[in-house]
Amino acid sequence: MATNRLPSAPQTSSRESWHEDELVEELHRHRAKLAERFDYDLKHLYEYYSSIPIDPKIPWADIKPVTPKRVAG
């Protein structure tokens, strides 16, 4: 779960949109470059990402499911 309290993301006001985040903008630029490189073909993009080896030294994320809370009303 992403939060704006992580060191990689500065604290933002509640009025600031997520799309104004510097990291999100960088991700969008990278994604656009790759999409253009593969002529916007999802099959080729999938093959590219599938061909990247996974580093066994990096542990998998341990993500727990989140149960939404009911809001009275």
Place of tokens 């989140």: 66
* 5: CB partners within 8 A, 6+ apart: 11
Residue-number span of the structural domain to which 25 is assigned: 18-51
Does the residue 9 lie in any domain? no
The pLDDT score that the predictor gives to residue 37 is 94
- Structure confidence by residue, pLDDT tens digits, 18-69: 557 888 899 999 999 999 999 999 999 999 989 999 899 988 888 888 888 8
pLDDT of 12 higher than 70: no
Does the residue 29 lie in any domain? yes
Does the residue 57 lie in any domain? no
Does the residue 25 lie in any domain? yes
Arithmetic mean of pLDDT, 2-25:
63
d(CA 2, CA 21): 13
d(CA 27, CA 33): 10
Domain tally for the chain?
1
Q: Who wins on pLDDT, 11 or 38? A: 38
